[in-house]
Amino acid sequence: MEQKMVNLTINGLPVSVSAGTTVLEAARSAGIKIPSLCFLKDANEIGACRICVVEVKGAKSLVASCVYPVSEGMEVFTNTEKVRKSRQLTLELILSNHRMDCLTCARSGKCELQQLAAELGIDAVRFAADSLPPQIEDSAAHLVRDNSKCVLCRRCTAVCRKAQEVGVIGCNDRGFDTHIGCAFDRDLAEVDCVSCGQCIVACPTGALQEKDDTDKVWAALADPAKHVVVGPAPSVRVTLGECFGMPVGTNVEGKMVTALKRLGFDKVFDVDNAADFTIMEEGTEFLSRLQNGGALPMITSCSPGWIRYCEQHHPDMLDNLSTCKSPQQMFGSLVKTYYAEKMGIDPKDIFVVSIMPCTAKKYEVAREEMRQHGWLPVDVSLTTRELGRMITRAGLLFDHLPDGEFDEMLGLSTGASVIFGATGGVMEAALRTVVEVVTNGEMKPLEFTEVRGTEGIKEASYELPGRTVRVCVCSGLSNAKKVLDGVKAGELHYDFIEIMACPGGCVNGGGQPIQHADVRNWVDLKALRAKALYTQDEGMTLRKSHENPILQQVYREYLGEPGGHKAHEILHTHYIPQQRYRTE
Amino acid sequence: MPNCKTVVPYNGTPEQELRLREIIAEHKGQPGATMPVLQAAQEIFGYLPEEVQIIVAEGLEIPLSEVYGVASFYAQFSMNPKGQHRISVCLGTACYVKGAADILSAVEQKLGIKTGSITKDGKFSLDACRCVGACGLAPVMMVGSDVYGRLTPDQVGPILDKYE
């Protein structure tokens, strides 16, 4: 179908764009930036903040360009005196109700409001609010909200409702009392928040941030009695560089390892290694379910946000979840059992830190059913952003760091585990191993491109001896809901489903570096970050989990058979239905 | 936020809930269904407690936060039931200049509740209102249908004690 083109002028420049384009997008395509605040492409297109106003000849007032469609012959002016004054006044009024403690704000330097004030030339505060006290809500394990810094753009509520279909936050009350909160102003910890953190990366200001756990890590590093072990998740190596201004999609694995060593960690392992164990266990579990008539479709369990969502919204599907712990939890468990025994260290003296793209991991580390022999597998889970801050605080010039290598034992990994960080990666990694095992090594396919890409729902089927295996990969909880509803209604038939809570998978997790809407609206972060993972996978000699020699050694010396008794004790868990609403 | 969680236990009947579910079924899937359903719910229950809003959210398959957002936006919706004795303190112009704000805070203090809410025992509910047509008696407070005028804050306690 041919797209109808529309001709207009913007600041006198002729522009031709397809019908339905907004003025803001049309201007962008002509190299003109219109400042915006509440606009988040595909998520929050509500024209609420009035920062993006422009003059349109013939229109009776200024129009919000983020929602105003182009029309034939339209004459748009984005930089008139009237427009500039209006934007300035709007921003001044927003600032009049914003607690400006920029010097001590976690978002300082990465704040969109700060940047707007500079861009629009706000050089004095005319309408200073009486001192606004902080309004801290920190009930949940993963997040701190300070509504005194909220600009009511509604980007957080939009991603919570639309991308995630969780919808635990909204706009409460009216007028000056309007604020973001949960229903009945309950604490976040009391409602069915899944801790995904997508609201944090959508927030333009410091109103939302992860709960900072770096002090706990500094304390452990300074404690001579603690043996401090760290492991970063697959996706962190392709996003950490963004904290230091590197282009999106830069792989900084070597520098990251050196940074962790220089921060003083006793051992720098790789959660990629644990991801290989996940594949061995999950693959074995899947084959056993296929052969023994277990609950199908089997659904992956790597994403704690997804797990919590399933426990709350689909408790009838818990039997379908793989019983495998997530790679983070497998990592901690292996460190405190196999590694502890091998090194002769009491697990109680080991302090395990994970570096995650994720805020739900902070919630996961404290899940009581993870407790073994009195200890929890992981002591602190940091986000990519928190690691970035630790590196800065330690005075490490990140781009000057030489490449380092992970410590042996639990540091070696395969390409299969590297791609865990992208949607479809776990499925592809599992298939690489499963197909080879099922065909007794006769079929050795490496790349399963059908399950790659950033689409929210992907499906494929593969012919294995004796049966067809139908798989589905989805990311973003709204897509998970679609797939599960279809499965329950008997309309969709799969054997194996990969679900990641965040759209695009871990590369787009709620713990990843902050990128302004100005970048997020025009650059596909998910695709660029994922590409870096697939590139790393391509360059590796070992690309299948079961080929990992360390993994083979650990099974031989310690765990026994994949899926066996000891492996189950250390690497598997169980799930508990959870309430959505509390009405005590 | 007084117009939030109520302190009075929910006592909706199965009949009331059934009526609400019927109304939800009529509106389900229509754009803008939340408003008419909430209006009907308030009609049925007299107010919109959390239990009722959950029925609406689950019935319409929308987040509870969305239902609460609408319910907390409009002044016509109340999340507290009315007490056995409904107190209204007039904040109209005449009463206001005659010190009605002090009367209101005296009542709040006496009952230990905020305007818009209800005492735990369900005895008193407190609202601010606009002009009861007795400006000559400003400042004015009503308890049920009894009107009290030319009030001073120290009179509030003894008046309310009569209703205990």
Q: Tell me whether A171 touches chain B (CB under 8 Å).
A: yes
Report the DSSP beta bridge partners of residue A261.
Answer: none
Q: What pTM was computed for the model?
A: 0.93
Q: Tell me whether B68 touches chain A (CB under 8 Å).
A: yes
- A128 pLDDT band, cuts 50/70/90, is confident
Q: Tell me whether B64 touches chain A (CB under 8 Å).
A: yes
Computed from CA positions of residues A302, A308, A311, A313, in that sequence, does the dihedral angle turn out positive or negative? Answer: negative
CB count, 10 Å around CB of A57? 10
Q: Tell me whether B41 touches chain A (CB under 8 Å).
A: no
Nearest in space to A496 (alpha carbons), one of A517, A468, A477: A468
Decide if A576 is inside a domain: no
Check whether residue A499 and residue A421 sit in a common domain. Answer: yes
Report the amino acid identity of residue A494.
Y
Interface of B with A in 9-38 (CB under 8 A): 10
Q: Are the Cβ atoms of A166 and B63 closer than 8 angstroms?
A: yes
Phi, psi of A267 (to 5 degrees): -140, 135
Given a cut of 60, is residue A270 above it in pLDDT? yes
Q: Helix or strand or coil: residue A440?
A: coil
Chain B residue numbers with beta carbons less than 8 Å from the beta carbon of A193 are none
Distance in angstroms (rounded) separating the CA atoms of residues A101 and A135: 13
pLDDT, tens only, B89-129: 999 999 999 999 999 999 999 999 999 889 988 899 999 98
Give residue for tokens 């909430």: B38
Q: Are the Cβ atoms of A583 and B10 closer than 8 angstroms?
A: yes
Decide if A113 is inside a domain: yes
Nearest in space to A227 (alpha carbons), one of A382, A342, A398, A362: A342
pLDDT, tens only, A190-221: 999 999 999 999 999 999 999 999 999 999 99
pLDDT, tens only, A428-458: 999 999 999 888 888 888 899 999 999 999 9
Computed from CA positions of residues B67, B126, A187, B10, in that sequence, does the dihedral angle turn out positive or negative? Answer: negative
CA distance B64 to chain A (A): 6
Considering the domain B85-161 in this protein, what is its CATH number?
3.40.30.10
Count chain A–chain B contacts defined by CB atoms under 8 A.
58
What CATH number should be reported for the domain holding residue A36?
A: 3.10.20.740
- Three-state secondary structure readout of B42-108: HHHHCCCCHHHHHHHHHHHCCCHHHHHHHHHHCCCCCCCCCCCEEEEEECCHHHHHCCHHHHHHHHH
Q: Are the Cβ atoms of A583 and B53 closer than 8 angstroms?
A: no
Decide if A283 is inside a domain: yes
Q: Are the Cβ atoms of A185 and B1 closer than 8 angstroms?
A: yes
From the centroid of its chain, how far is CA A373?
Answer: 31
Check whether residue A429 and residue A494 sit in a common domain. Answer: yes
Chain B residue numbers with beta carbons less than 8 Å from the beta carbon of A172 are 1, 68-69, 72
Decide if A584 is inside a domain: no
pLDDT, tens only, A16-61: 999 999 999 999 999 999 999 999 999 999 999 999 999 999 999 9
User: Is A352 exposed, middle or buried (CB count within 10 Å of its CB: 0-12, 13-18, 19+)?
Assistant: buried
Among A62, A78, A93, give the residue marking a domain's end. A93
- Three-state secondary structure readout of A141-203: CCEEEEHHHCCCCCHHHHHHHHHCCCCCCEEECCHHHCEEECHHHCCHHHCCCCCCCHHHHHC
Residue-level pLDDT at A312: 95
Q: Are the Cβ atoms of B4 and A184 closer than 8 angstroms?
A: yes
Domain housing A457: 215-571
Given a cut of 70, is residue A583 above it in pLDDT? no
Nearest in space to A325 (alpha carbons), one of A272, A279, A380, A359: A279
Check whether residue A78 and residue A102 sit in a common domain. Answer: no
Phi, psi of A356 (to 5 degrees): -125, 150
Q: Are the Cβ atoms of B63 and A167 closer than 8 angstroms?
A: yes
Q: Tell me whether B114 touches chain A (CB under 8 Å).
A: no
Check whether residue A179 and residue A238 sit in a common domain. Answer: no
Nearest in space to A560 (alpha carbons), one of A491, A74, A569: A569
| Integer Rg of chain A from CA | 25
Chain B residue numbers with beta carbons less than 8 Å from the beta carbon of A191 are 64
Q: Which residues of A are catalytic?
A: 282, 285, 302, 322, 361, 364, 369, 506
Chain A residue numbers with beta carbons less than 8 Å from the beta carbon of B73 are 171, 173-174
Q: Are A543 and A414 in contact (CB under 8 A)?
A: yes
How would DSSP label each residue in A482-527? HHHHHHHTTS---SEEEEESSTTSGGG-TTSPP--HHHHTTS-HHH
Chain B residue numbers with beta carbons less than 8 Å from the beta carbon of A167 are 62-66
Cis peptide before B153 (omega within 30 of 0): no
A350 vs A11, A15, A337, A384, A522, CA distance in Å? 63, 62, 10, 22, 44
- A109 pLDDT band, cuts 50/70/90, is very high
- The total number of structural domains that make up chain A: 3
Q: Tell me whether A313 touches chain B (CB under 8 Å).
A: no
Phi, psi of A75 (to 5 degrees): -115, 115
Q: What is the mean pLDDT of residues B29-41?
A: 95
Chain A residue numbers with beta carbons less than 8 Å from the beta carbon of B62 are 167
DSSP assignment, residue A246?
Answer: P
CA distance A167 to chain B (A): 5
Check whether residue A424 and residue A546 sit in a common domain. Answer: yes
pLDDT, tens only, A305-349: 999 999 999 999 999 999 999 999 999 999 999 999 999 999 999
By C-alpha distance, the chain B residue nearest A313 is B58
Q: Tell me whether B133 touches chain A (CB under 8 Å).
A: no
Residue-level pLDDT at A1: 56
By C-alpha distance, the chain A residue nearest B53 is A183
| Mean confidence (pLDDT) of chain A | 95
Q: Tell me whether A581 touches chain B (CB under 8 Å).
A: yes
Non-local (6+) Cβ contacts of A55 within 8 A are A62, A76, A77, A78, A80, A82, A83
In chain A the first and final C-alpha atoms are separated, in Å, by 56
Mutate to test the interface with B, among A164, A182, A184, A192 (most CBs of B within 10 A): A184
Q: Are the Cβ atoms of B54 and A161 closer than 8 angstroms?
A: no
Decide if A152 is inside a domain: yes
Non-local (6+) Cβ contacts of A31 within 8 A are none
Q: Are the Cβ atoms of A185 and B65 closer than 8 angstroms?
A: no
Given a cut of 60, is residue B3 above it in pLDDT? no
Chain A residue numbers with beta carbons less than 8 Å from the beta carbon of B50 are 183-184, 581, 583
Chain B residue numbers with beta carbons less than 8 Å from the beta carbon of A182 are 65
- A168 pLDDT band, cuts 50/70/90, is very high
Q: Tell me whether A485 touches chain B (CB under 8 Å).
A: no
Check whether residue A290 and residue A275 sit in a common domain. Answer: yes
Given a cut of 50, is residue A401 above it in pLDDT? yes
CB count, 10 Å around CB of A424? 29
Share of chain A above pLDDT 90, in %: 93
CA distance B79 to chain A (A): 10
Q: Are A380 and A511 in contact (CB under 8 A)?
A: no
By C-alpha distance, the chain A residue nearest B77 is A173
User: Is B150 exposed, middle or buried (CB count within 10 Å of its CB: 0-12, 13-18, 19+)?
Assistant: exposed
Interface of A with B in 139-158 (CB under 8 A): 157
Is B135 annotated for ligand binding?
yes
Is B95 annotated for ligand binding?
yes
Q: Tell me whether A167 touches chain B (CB under 8 Å).
A: yes
Q: Are A26 and A14 in contact (CB under 8 A)?
A: no
Interface of A with B in 273-302 (CB under 8 A): none
Q: Are the Cβ atoms of A581 and B10 closer than 8 angstroms?
A: no
- Extents of the domains making up chain B: 14-73, 85-161
Among A158, A190, A211, give the residue marking a domain's end. A211
Chain B residue numbers with beta carbons less than 8 Å from the beta carbon of A183 are 50, 53, 63-65, 67-69
CA distance A457 to chain B (A): 22
Among A211, A232, A258, give the residue marking a domain's end. A211
Calculate ∠ Cα B131-B134-B137, nearest 5°. 120
Q: Tell me whether A173 touches chain B (CB under 8 Å).
A: yes
Q: Tell me whether A187 touches chain B (CB under 8 Å).
A: no
What CATH number should be reported for the domain holding residue A405?
A: 3.40.50.1780
Distance in angstroms (rounded) separating the CA atoms of residues A246 and B12: 59
Written as six digits, the tokens of A528 are 């660029």
Q: Are the Cβ atoms of B1 and A173 closer than 8 angstroms?
A: yes
Distance in angstroms (rounded) separating the CA atoms of residues B79 and B117: 8
Check whether residue A377 and residue A426 sit in a common domain. Answer: yes
ipTM: 0.90
Q: Tell me whether A175 touches chain B (CB under 8 Å).
A: no
Decide if A340 is inside a domain: yes
Nearest in space to A40 (alpha carbons), one of A156, A148, A169, A151: A156
CB count, 10 Å around CB of A60? 6
Check whether residue A489 and residue A540 sit in a common domain. Answer: yes
User: Is A450 exposed, middle or buried (CB count within 10 Å of its CB: 0-12, 13-18, 19+)?
Assistant: middle
A223 vs A59, A226, A354, A404, CA distance in Å? 67, 6, 18, 24
pLDDT, tens only, A63-73: 999 999 999 99
For the CA atoms of A37, A40, A41, A42, what is the dihedral angle to 10 degrees? -140
Check whether residue A224 and residue A328 sit in a common domain. Answer: yes
Chain B residue numbers with beta carbons less than 8 Å from the beta carbon of A169 are 65
Written as six digits, the tokens of A470 are 């139908």
DSSP assignment, residue A112?
Answer: H
pLDDT, tens only, A533-580: 999 999 999 999 999 999 999 999 999 999 999 999 999 999 999 988
Q: Is A44 left (phi over 0), alpha (psi -120 to 50) or beta?
A: beta
Nearest in space to A201 (alpha carbons), one of A143, A258, A136, A284: A143
Decide if A581 is inside a domain: no
DSSP assignment, residue A212?
Answer: P
Is B129 annotated for ligand binding?
no
Report the amino acid identity of residue A266.
D
Check whether residue A165 and residue A225 sit in a common domain. Answer: no
Q: Are the Cβ atoms of B5 and A161 closer than 8 angstroms?
A: no
